[in-house]
């Protein structure tokens, strides 16, 4: 395995589990590179493409970078109508344009199931990079999107999700996490990640382990999309919920009043979820003002403490 000793300009690589790779080009410029792709999560091909693009770009924002360049990763069945493929790519292209980046090409192969995403490059100052290892005791935990996307989209696949619930989830998935690129350079934020496949509790544990701290999360403060709790009570969980639970439960200590349904909901994967940010207490007021000015929703859901693992109360 390549290490930082082999390549000192590789600021974030295989030695740590983080959201993207970071390579220092000069004292004032670093490249952030990531890739991601997903299977269809909604029926409309344009919306699917746009969600996949937002999801792919999220890791750049989670490191504090600005998106500049993307390459399509496209897998399509041979019998998929060309018009649907066009709409998927159009949705992705317009979402990248919204981010201020450009798609410069890509690669397409035949596959039995559609898959779409992107390899994305972002830029940042080497000293203004946020990672999972940057949380410190005393920091405040801030979340920028409500949870429940995975719960609602799974219910939709079973044709039991209400239309307004699914639409609310789609709107959240389409929102870019570009606020990460705005707040990291302006403040001394060092701890940040986005909430995706490992769910809130899984990604929070990754941050806790990387930072050698304990994260305390207040369950009553965690925002949920309309319908998410209802579908959880119907046990409509995707398979990823159980996999996350089985792997991460050893580090999570849940208070007795936490119901099994809520606990599993916090283990449920998200697609294009929000940012989990560790904000130094002395900078909280400034960060909140910045979020208000950008009309970015956020919720304060906990604190960072000395210790290990996750305390869910």
pLDDT tens by residue, 261-298: 999 999 999 999 999 999 999 999 999 999 999 999 99
Q: Is 2 part of any domain? A: no
Determine if residue 64 is left, alpha or beta; phi over 0 gives left, psi from -120 to 50 gives alpha, anything else beta: left
Residue 3 placed within a domain:
no
Whether residue 93 is found in the same domain as residue 160: no
Class of residue 138 by CB neighbours under 10 A (exposed 0-12, middle 13-18, buried 19+) = middle
We report the CATH number of the domain holding residue 39 as 3.30.1330.10
Q: Is residue 18 predicted with pLDDT exceeding 80?
A: no
Are 120 and 59 a contacting pair, CB within 8 Å?
yes
Domain containing 44 equals 10-124
Separation in Å, CA 93 to CA 14, 48, 101: 29, 12, 9
How large a percentage of the chain has pLDDT more than 90?
94
Whether 63 and 158 share a structural domain: no
Whole-model pTM: value is 0.95
Query: Do 53 and 199 fall within a single domain?
Result: no
> Of 124, 159, 175, at which residue does a domain stop?
124
Are 215 and 142 members of one domain? Answer: yes
Number of domains in the chain: 2
Residue 4 within any structural domain of the chain? no
* Whether 166 contacts 153, CB under 8 Å: yes
Domain identity same for 213 and 235: yes
Q: Of 142, 150, 208, give the one whose Cα is nearest residue 177.
A: 142
Q: What is the pLDDT of residue 66?
A: 98
Based on the fold, state whether residues 158 and 71 are members of the same structural domain.
no
* pLDDT for 4: 59
């Amino acid at each position: 395995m390549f290490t930082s000793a082999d390549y000192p300009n590789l600021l974030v690589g295989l030695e740590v589990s983080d959201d993207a790779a970071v390579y220092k080009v000069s004292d004032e410029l670093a490249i952030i590179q990531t890739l991601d792709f997903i299977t269809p999560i909604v029926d409309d091909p344009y919306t699917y493409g746009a969600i996949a693009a937002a999801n792919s770009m999220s890791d750049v924002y989670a490191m504090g970078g600005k998106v500049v360049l993307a390459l399509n990763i496209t897998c399509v069945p041979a019998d998929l109508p060309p018009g649907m493929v066009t709409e998927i790519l159009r949705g992705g292209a317009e979402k990248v344009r919204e981010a201020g980046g450009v798609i410069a090409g890509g690669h397409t192969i035949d596959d039995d199931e559609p898959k779409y995403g992107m390899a994305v490059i972002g830029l940042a100052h080497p000293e203004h990079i946020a990672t999972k290892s940057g949380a410190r005791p005393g920091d405040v935990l801030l979340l920028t999107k409500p949870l429940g996307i995975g719960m609602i989209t799974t219910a939709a696949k079973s044709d039991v999700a209400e239309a307004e619930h699914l639409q609310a989830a789609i709107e959240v998935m389409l929102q870019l996490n570009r606020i990460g690129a705005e707040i990291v350079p302006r403040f001394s934020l060092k701890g940040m990640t986005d909430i995706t496949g490992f769910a809130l509790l899984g990604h929070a544990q990754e941050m806790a382990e990387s930072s050698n701290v304990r994260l305390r999360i207040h369950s009553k403060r965690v925002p949920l999309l309309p319908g998410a709790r209802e579908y959880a009570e119907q046990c409509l969980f995707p398979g990823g919920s159980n996999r996350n639970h089985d792997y991460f439960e050893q580090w999570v200590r849940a208070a007795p009043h936490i119901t099994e349904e809520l606990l599993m909901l916090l283990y449920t994967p998200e697609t294009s979820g929000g940012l989990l940010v560790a904000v130094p207490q002395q900078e909280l007021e400034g960060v909140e003002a910045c979020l208000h000015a950008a009309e970015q929703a956020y919720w304060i859901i906990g604190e960072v403490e000395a210790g290990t693992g996750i305390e869910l109360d």
